[in-house]
Amino acid sequence: MCGIVGYTGSKQAAPILLEGLARLEYRGYDSAGIAINDGDKINVVKAMGRLAVLCEKSNGGAAAPGCIGIGHTRWATHGKPSDANSHPHVSENGRIAIVHNGIIENYASLKEMLVNRGRVFKSETDTEVAAQLIDYYYNGNILEAVSRAVRELEGSYALGVVCADEPNTIVGVKSHAPLIVAYSDDGNFFASDVMAVISHTKTVTYLEDDEIAVVRNDGIKFYTPFLDEIKKEKCIVDWDISAADKCGYEHYMYKEIMEQPDAVRRTIEPYISDGRVDLSAVLDRDYVKKLNRIFIAACGSSYHVGVIAKYNIEKLARVPVEVVLASEFRYCDPIVDQNTLVICISQSGETADTLEAQREAKRLGAATLAIVNVEGSSIAKSADKVIYTKAGPEIAVATTKAYSTQLAVTVLIALYTAECCEAIPDSEYDKILSELLSVPEKMLKILDDKANIQYLAYQHFNNEDLFFIGRNIDYALSLEGSLKLKEISYIHSEAYAAGELKHGTISLVVDDTLVIAVASYGRLVEKTLSNALEVKARGAHVMGITTESLKQKVGAVTDEIITIPDTHEVLLPSLAVLPLQLFAYYVALYRGCDIDKPRNLAKSVTVE
């Protein structure tokens, strides 16, 4: 959600900003803009729609000369998408320009104060309020003005500020929203995401909440909110620019689906030693033995990972697990104590609701464990302990490899907890671990045999309503299959526990309704197939997803079938998710959808 980037140095800023914004397109946006200080005044170019519109309007940046500037891709929160509401926003006199990621919650009262003092506003946004407030306090020193203004702001924000009177300075500040600064020989940067600057440098510094960075072409300095100078460490990003390119694939989503075997392998291998899962550096064995409950707080696909994890942890370790939508965790009065572990899952590590859930868990006295993909992210830094997935950069809005690596981590946690609690026989433990290590190879087999999935997608891409059914972990996986389809193809899709069909849902099934029955969980396949027969009796067309060993049984009931290799039941979702991802991808492809940037969606949801 909302990408921001800034540059000051020896080169023309506008082309660099446009390139950086292009690398932030995956975050989701509805408009874009740049503000360039030409040494005399600030020139702003902004436009609704895709970045290509801005590039054309600015002549690839040539229409806005200058070596310092800021850029923004906006995902509308305050005010509908329009040129007026697009960023950057400037103060009434044009002296201050800012870009902003997040929400300023007290903007209405601040705006009223400024209007009462004669300020005139041109937009509906909270961001213009911040620009006007900074200008209101400006008295010849932009750093002091920013410092004074942000003390009055409430909410989540990352701001980048330039001033016409100080043509060599960008000021960045953050509170509950991501912000980095970066260093290169040709100048220095700030951005909401490493992705924006990775083609120029791998050397970055992560800002903490309420810290202020002053970025100049000859260096970067850091300050507390009260302007005491502080020192910050530089970090080296450990992935290459090629990881953020399509590498010949038509879409990032397809590339990331194909990268899953390697991503899962990279994620699990560091935690397996001498035939055992070793998470002792993250979870102390004595602490795990005392656990009386685990909460999992997450949003979207990460929540679906949590639902599968609940089944597996309770099955193997016999520890109660409650999965809660992160946006609800703070408001459900969770019962936690020092023997409760709260696991927070987020690809970006910046998901606002998940971050707040984690903070609430810590306030209540629980230990927190973060499963995230981005090092240095807010959730990672706030958690007591962290397990990083090794998915690498995930550009497509619809997650694939991050989901699979999160799922693999939860299997590691289930095995480790089961062993600590002496709840699993060695033979069962060894079998599951062996199968976990074979998941990447079996994923490759599915990906190599995707032609059938593509064919089935072509047969059904015109459906406008679709249902997924399953039981136990098959139901949990159905949640993700349904989400993948609806978010990139815009087909109305729902997932139901198969046993719930008779409690209302079956009334929606009419002739030619497509129902995808996920039937890989051997112990409950017969029951799922009974439900498949019920919908077929109402005219539904049923597609089955099952294992090779169950192919004949499931195929006898369903109209079409997709198979996955056999594996241990706790690992079935790790394999069965691939056909669901591919089916969604191909359906969206045939429908002509913008697969990597689906409408109204953002990659990282940094506001509540």
Q: Does the active-site annotation cover 2?
A: yes
Tell me the DSSP string of 15-69.
Answer: HHHHHHHHHTGGG--SEEEEEEE-SSSEEEEEEES-HHHHHHHTGGGTTS--SEE
Contact 191, 5 (CB under 8 A): yes
pLDDT digits over 173-206, tens only? 998 888 999 999 999 999 988 888 988 998 999 9
Band the pLDDT of 78: cuts 50, 70, 90. Answer: low
Q: pLDDT at position 113, please? A: 96
Mean pLDDT of 550-556: 95
Q: pLDDT at position 79, please? A: 59
Band the pLDDT of 87: cuts 50, 70, 90. Answer: confident
What is the distance between the alpha carbons of residues 110 and 586, in angstroms, rounded to a whole number? 48
Q: Which helix (H) or strand (E) holds 467?
A: strand 465-470
Nearest to 562 by CA among 571, 570, 554: 554
CATH class entry, domain 449-594: alpha beta
Q: pLDDT at position 77, please? A: 66
pLDDT digits over 305-317, tens only? 999 999 999 999 9
What is the distance between the alpha carbons of residues 35 and 234, in angstroms, rounded to a whole number? 27
Q: Which residues lie across from 589 on neighbouring strands?
A: none
Spans of all domains in the chain:
3-237, 248-447, 449-594
Mean pLDDT of 211-228: 94
Q: What is the pTM of this model?
A: 0.82
Which of 1.10.3210.10, 3.40.50.300, 3.40.50.10490, 3.40.50.1460 would CATH assign to domain 248-447? 3.40.50.10490
CB atoms within 10 A of CB 276: 14
Q: Does the active-site annotation cover 362?
A: no
Average pLDDT across the chain, whole number: 91
In the set 2, 67, 163, 299, the catalytic residue is 2
pLDDT digits over 41-65, tens only? 999 998 887 778 888 888 888 889 9
pLDDT digits over 264-306, tens only? 999 999 999 999 999 999 999 999 999 999 999 999 999 999 9
In the set 111, 450, 484, 603, the catalytic residue is 603
Mean pLDDT of 95-99: 95
Mean pLDDT of 203-220: 93
pLDDT digits over 9-21, tens only? 999 999 999 998 8
Q: Give the least confident one: 230-239, 277-286, 488-497.
A: 230-239
Mean pLDDT of 470-492: 95
Band the pLDDT of 343: cuts 50, 70, 90. Answer: very high
Q: pLDDT at position 124, please? A: 83
Could you give the C-alpha distances from 74 to 14, 139, 155, 295, 599, in angstroms and in order? 17, 29, 17, 34, 13
Q: Topology of 3-237 in CATH?
A: Glutamine Phosphoribosylpyrophosphate, subunit 1, domain 1 (3.60.20)
Structure tokens at 223: 């300050």
Q: Is the pLDDT of residue 363 over 80?
A: yes
Q: Is the pLDDT of residue 607 over 60?
A: no
List the helix and strand counts (H, then E) for the chain: 19, 27
Contact 46, 110 (CB under 8 A): no
Band the pLDDT of 76: cuts 50, 70, 90. Answer: low
**Is 3-237's fold the same as 449-594's?**
no
Contact 153, 209 (CB under 8 A): no
